[in-house]
Amino acid sequence: MNNELGERKKESYKIFDEIAGTYDLLNHTLSFGIDIYWRNKMLKHLPNKDSINALDLATGTGDVPLTLIKDPRVKKITGIDLSKGMVDLGIIKVKKKGLDKKINLMIGDGVTIPTGDNAFDLTTISFGIRNFSDPQKSLFDIHRVLKKDGRLMIMEFSIPENFLVRQVYFFYFRHLLPFVGNIISKHKDAYTYLNKSVEDFPYGENFLKLMNNAGFENLKMIPLTFGIATLYIGDKK
Ligand SMILES: C[S@@+](CC[C@H](N)C(=O)[O-])C[C@H]1O[C@@H](n2cnc3c(N)ncnc32)[C@H](O)[C@@H]1O
């Protein structure tokens, strides 16, 4: 990782504080709504348990908890994020849907998770871990907070394999997305940072190695939409 980007990651939540107001709108428009389909994919891979207590790291405005709760087996979700601006918006969304007894969003770090050991059946992170200052440390800590037979699901951007798709992807991520995103969010370079953080992040087998180092087993990766994003799954045994 280059040093400048590494420093930026430590404080990336501050960028999200600044763009929180336009985050949901930009997310859904710049991804043409595919982000909603991607989060729904997580529902197909929930752990095989009758009652699931879940933890969502880098929860942002709460879209993953609001997706997971659609499955009746998911009884309770704790969402953690370092950006107060994002969490405050998430709390409003959760309350509006009358789900505040089941979904609890709070400020906290996904690298040093502020909860006890062996507490959750499922931990999720969607489009968050590439912003963490130390993804490997976070994976070790997720392993600590999961119960035996608990599952980790991580969704993150990846680079498509197909040459043509890759050219379109680079054009979109390097030029179009930063241009439109920075204008609408009124932030000087939030969406330029987004592109850099994506290209800098290990994906595919390299990311599975980090999960393996942290002790996860039954490792799987599921490419989504030509491999623009990947869903990584691992279990704690
Ligand atoms: C791209 S957003 C993803 C939000 C949400 N998961 C989603 O799918 O829309 C990334 C989030 O990661 C959060 N974040 C960055 N570093 C973090 C950390 N160390 N711990 C917890 N959250 C962090 C940011 O504040 C931001 O809300």
State in Å: Cα 3 to ligand 1 middle: 20
Put simply, whether the predicted model's pTM sits higher than 0.75 gets the answer yes
Ligand 1 geometric centre to CA of 58 (Å): 3
Q: Relative to the CA of 59, which ligand 1 atom is closest?
A: 6
| Residue located nearest, by CA, to atom 8 of ligand 1 | 126
Cβ < 6 Å from ligand 1: which residues? 12-13, 16, 27, 57-60, 63-64, 80-83, 86, 109-111, 126-128, 131-132
Annotated domain spans of the chain: 3-159+203-235
CA of 16 to the centre of ligand 1 (A): 8
125-177 pLDDT, tens digit each: 999 999 999 999 999 999 999 999 999 999 999 999 999 999 999 999 899 88
Instruction: Report the candidate in 107, 63, 65 with the shortest Cα–Cα distance to residue 83.
Output: 107
Right CATH number for 3-159+203-235 from 3.40.640.10, 3.40.50.150, 3.30.70.20, 3.30.70.100? 3.40.50.150
Q: Give the pLDDT band of residue 62 (cuts 50, 70, 90).
A: very high
Report pLDDT digits (tens) over 164-199.
999 999 999 899 888 888 888 888 888 888 888 888
Between CA 61 and CA 79 the distance in angstroms is 9
Q: What is the 3-state secondary structure (H, E, C) of 2-71?
A: CHHHHHHHHCHHHHHHHHHHHHHHHHHHHCCCHHHHHHHHHHHHCCCCCCEEEEEECCCCCHHHHHHCCC
| Ligand 1 mutation target, pool 15, 16, 194, 197, most atoms within 8 A of CB | 16
What tens digit of pLDDT does each residue of 107-120 get?
A: 999 999 999 999 99
